[in-house]
Amino acid sequence: MGSIVILGGGLAGLSTAWHLQKAGYNNYHLFEKESRIGGLTRSETVDGFTFDYTGHLLHFKDKNIKETVLGLLGENIGFIERNSWIYSKNVFTRYPFQTNTYGLPEEVIKECIIGFIEAKYGRNGSGVSSNDSKPQEEKTFEDWIYENFGSGIAKHFMIPYNEKLWTVPPSEMTTEWMGRFVPQTSLEQILDGALSDQSQKVGYNANFYYPLNGGIEALPKAFASSLSNIHTDSEIQKIDLIEKKVTLKNGEEIRYDKLVSSLPLNILANSINTLPANIKNSIANLRYNSVFNINLGVDRDLSDKHWVYFPELEYSFYRIGFSSNFSPYMAPKGTSSIYIEISYTDNRPIDKKRAVEKVKEDLIKARILKESDKILVEKCFEIKCAYVIYDKNRTKIVNQIKDFLKENDIYTIGRYGSWEYAGMEDAIIQGKDIAGEIVLADKEGYVLKKPDRIPAVSIVIPVYNEEKILESAVKEIVVEADKLNIDYELIICENGSKDRTLEIGQNLSIIYPQVRAIHCPEPNYGAALELGILKSIGENVVCFEIDFWDGPFIEIAKVLLRKYDAVVGSKGAKGARDRRPLIRRIITYSFNLFLRIFFGFQGTDTHGIKAFRRDKSIKIVNDCKTSKDIFATELILRMQRAGFYMCEIPLEIEERRPPTIGLLKRVPSTIKNLFTLWKATRNLKSTDVKKLEPIPKILE
C-alpha cells in the first residue's frame, strides 16, 4: 500500500497511527499544526500548576480501549469517585439535578416533583403529556426535556443550563447527541433525592480515571512515545483530490494513498480545492460554540469537589472544576487550581478581558473564593471549536460531506472530524476502527485485485460479540471445509461488536489465507450478511451462522446449485428434526405461516442456512431494502418472486446456546420487521413464482 497521511495529532490521529503501527503498517505520516501533539488533550504547567484545556476526565465503555489506555499509562493513573455538584438558589446540590433536589427551596422541589409526575402520567393522571401530539422525528431537545423531566426540572436546571452551555436554546436542538450523556430517572429516584441527601452516583461518569502526573497530556504523550512518523509545526493548507496530495503551509507537498483527517470538518472541507459548490454552501451552516477556559491557581485548599455546574444566568460560567482534586500533583501542596468554562459564539460574544475579573467576582459570590484569597497563577485557553451544535441541519450536512470525502478516499474521524459530541475514548475508538478498516481494505484489495482463482464457494458468516467462540468455531469450519476438497473462502462479517471479535477475525484472516474479516460499524445482522455477500467472490455463496453451520451442507448445496438457483436449509420441511425448545418451534412455525398467508411464501423456512448462485443473486441482494433479522427473509422472498428455481433441504437442529435476547422481548421488533418487510415488498412484481422443491433428507 502507498502512504497513509494522518491529519491532526489529537487523540483520534494518534490512535490511528498507533493502531496502524501495531498492525505492522509503518507507512503513515501524521501532520500536526501545533508545535506539540495532543490537540485538546494538551496540558500546560505554570509555576507548579498543571492546567488542561478545561477538565478532561477519562471514562470507558469499551473494555479493549480501557486496556490499551491503562496499559499505556502504566502506573501513572488514578481511579477517582466523582464528587460533582450543582450550584443554584445559593445552595450546592449533588449532580445530577433531577435526583438531588434536597436542600433547594421547598417551592422549587415541589415544582420539580409535580412537573415530573405531570410529564410522565399526564395532568390528573390522564397519561397524556403535552408533547404527545408531536411526531417523534420533529421533537426537539426542549420537547425531550419536558417529556422526560417535566416543567420544574426544565425550568430550574435543564433549560437554563443547556442554553448556557450550548449557546442556543434547546428548542433549536435535536436529541441525537444525548445517548449516555443525560442520565434518565424514575419517580422513586426523584422522591428519594428530594427527601434526603443522596450520595448514590447516577450517570455515565460516576467515577473516572485521570493521570497522576503531567495532566491529561500524559495520555497523548504515551500514545506518541512509540510512534516514529510524527511531524509537528506542519499545518495543512490545501488538499488536492485529483493528484492525491496535501500541501503544508511551508509549501511542502505530500502524496497520499489514503487520507485520515481529524481536522474539524469545516476546515478540512474548505481546504479541498475542488469542493462541489453545494457542499461548500452546506458547510457554512455547520454550527459550533467556543469555550473560553480560565484557569486559576489559588493559595489555599478550596474544596473537595471535582466540578460544579452553574445553571443560573447571573454567573458567567456554566461549569467550574478543581483540577487539583484530580491528582495531588496538579498543584503545589496547600494550593488549589480551578478551571472555569464560559461558552460563546460570534452571535453571543464575550469580553475576554473583562471575563477574568467577572469570574473572580462570581466565584466570591458563590462562596468559592474569599476576597482575601491570593491568585498565584492565571492561565487562559481559547477553544475555538468546542461543542458542535446539533440543530436540525447537522446530520444531513455531515452525511453529505462524509459521503463526498469517502468517495475520494478521505476518512474523517474524531470529535470534530465526525462533527459530534464525543469524548476522548470515542476519538481513540475511531482511530482504532479506521486503522482496522485501512488494514482490511489493503488485504481485501489484494485478494480482490489479484485472485489467483475464483473459489467455488464463499462462506459468509455474520458475527457480533462472539469473542468467546469465534476462533474455535472458525477453526472447526476450516477443518470441515478443508475435508471437502473444494476451493472456498470464508468471510467473517463482524458488525458493531463491543468485544474483541473484529480483532480475532483479523488475526484469523492472517493465519488462514482463505479467511477474510470484514467490518460493519453498526450491530446489524442483515447489513453484515449483505456486505459479506457483496464482498464475496465465489461462484456460490453459502450463508451460515457462527453457531449453526454444517460442513456437508456446503458440498450438497454445491451439487444442487448445478440445477437450482438457491438452496434453503429448512427447520420446517418434511423430514426436518427441530429439537429446539417448544416455544421456539412455535414461534418459527407461526412466523413462516404468517409469511405464507400474507406474503405468498411458497416454502417452510427463510431463516436457516442457505446457499445460492452468486452472479444470479447479486442484483436481488442489492435490491433488498430491509436489514437486521428480516434481511434473510426479504432475500428469499425476493428470490422467489423473481422466479428463482429453489429447493429446501430438511435440517436437523438443536439449540446450542440460549438466544441472547429473550423471546418475548423480540415480539415487538418482529412485528416491526414484518411491517418493514411488507413496505419493502408490497410493490414487488412476481414473475413465474415457483414453490420451493423439497429435497429428501440427506444430511444424516
Ligand X SMILES: Cc1cc2nc3c(=O)[nH]c(=O)nc-3n(C[C@H](O)[C@H](O)[C@H](O)COP(=O)(O)OP(=O)(O)OC[C@H]3O[C@@H](n4cnc5c(N)ncnc54)[C@H](O)[C@@H]3O)c2cc1C
Which chain residues interact with ligand X by CB under 6 A?
7-13, 31-34, 39-41, 54-57, 235-236, 262-263, 267, 291, 341, 383, 386, 414-416, 422-425, 427
Q: Minimum CB separation from ligand X for residue 319, in Å?
A: 9
> Which H/E stretch holds residue 670?
helix 663-681
* Strand ranges for 123-223 from DSSP E: 207-210
Residues in the chain, how many?
700
CB of 344 to ligand X, least distance (A): 12
Q: Quote the cell numbers at residue 471.
A: 476462533
DSSP secondary structure letter of residue 58: B
Residue 107 or 382 having the CB closest to ligand X: 382
CA 571 from centre of chain? 36
CB of 219 to ligand X, least distance (A): 9
Closest CB to ligand X among residues 155, 319: 319
Instruction: Kindly list the distances between the CA atom of residue 656 and the CA atoms of 551, 565, 579, 600, 700, in Å, as whole numbers in the listed order.
Output: 17, 30, 10, 31, 18
**What is the separation, in whole angstroms, between the first and last Cα of the chain?**
48
Burial class (CB in 10 A: 0-12, 13-18, 19+), 499: middle
Shortest spacing between CB 511 and ligand X, in angstroms:
33
**Min. distance of Cβ 436 from ligand X in angstroms?**
17
DSSP classification of residue 242: T
CB closer to ligand X out of 32 and 143: 32
Query: Whose Cβ is closer to ligand X: residue 33's or residue 607's?
Result: 33
For residues 106 and 233, is the Cβ–Cβ distance under 8 A? no
Alpha carbon distances (Å) from 166 to 13, 238, 289, 530: 26, 31, 7, 40
Q: What is the dihedral of CA 312, 315, 319, 320, to 10 degrees?
A: -140
Q: Please identify, using beta-carbon distances, which residue of 143 and 433 lies nearer to ligand X.
A: 433
Q: At closest approach, how far in Å is the CB of 161 from ligand X?
A: 14
Round to whole Å and give the CA distance between 426 and 64. 12
Shortest separation between residue 431's beta carbon and ligand X, angstroms: 8
Q: Can you tell me the distance from the alpha carbon of 510 to that of 496, in angstroms, rounded to the nearest whole number?
A: 21
d(CA 408, CA 402): 10
Specify the residue, 263 or 542, whose C-beta has the smaller distance to ligand X: 263
CB closer to ligand X out of 244 and 319: 319
Residue 592 grid cell: 413462516
Rounded CA separation 695/445 (Å) = 39
Shortest Cβ 6–ligand X spacing (Å):
10
Among residues 258 and 614, whose Cβ is nearest to ligand X? 258
| Count of other CB atoms within 10 angstroms of residue 276 | 11
Measured in whole angstroms, the distance separating CA 68 from the mean position of its chain's CA atoms is: 18
CA distance 67 to 511: 24
* Cell numbers at 183, concatenated: 442520565
Alpha-carbon distance of 24 to 9, in angstroms, equals: 20
Is the Cβ of residue 15 or residue 673 nearer to ligand X in the bound state?
A: 15
Least Cβ distance, residue 329 to ligand X (angstroms) = 18
For residue 245, the minimal CB distance to ligand X (Å) is 14
Residue 231: CB minimum distance to ligand X, A:
9
CB of 235 to ligand X, least distance (A): 4
CB of 574 to ligand X, least distance (A): 58
Choice between 158 and 263, CB closer to ligand X: 263
Burial call 174-192: b when 16+ CB within 10 Å, e when fewer = bbebbeeebbebeeebbbe
CB closer to ligand X, 115 vs 431? 431
Q: How many CA atoms lie within 13 A of 687 on its CB side?
A: 4
β-strands 566-570, 646-650 pairing = parallel
> Could you say which DSSP state residue 65 is in?
H
Question: Of 147, 176, 179, 135, nearest to 393 (Cα)?
Answer: 176
Q: Which is nearer to ligand X, 147 or 341 (CB)?
A: 341
Cβ closest to ligand X, residue 291 vs residue 377: 291
Mapped onto helix, strand or coil, the DSSP state of residue 120 is helix
When the beta carbons of 87 and 223 are compared against ligand X, the nearer one is 223
If DSSP codes are grouped into helix, strand and coil, which group holds residue 574?
coil
Q: Which three cell numbers stand for residue 298?
A: 489559588
Shortest distance (Å) from residue 53 CB to ligand X: 7
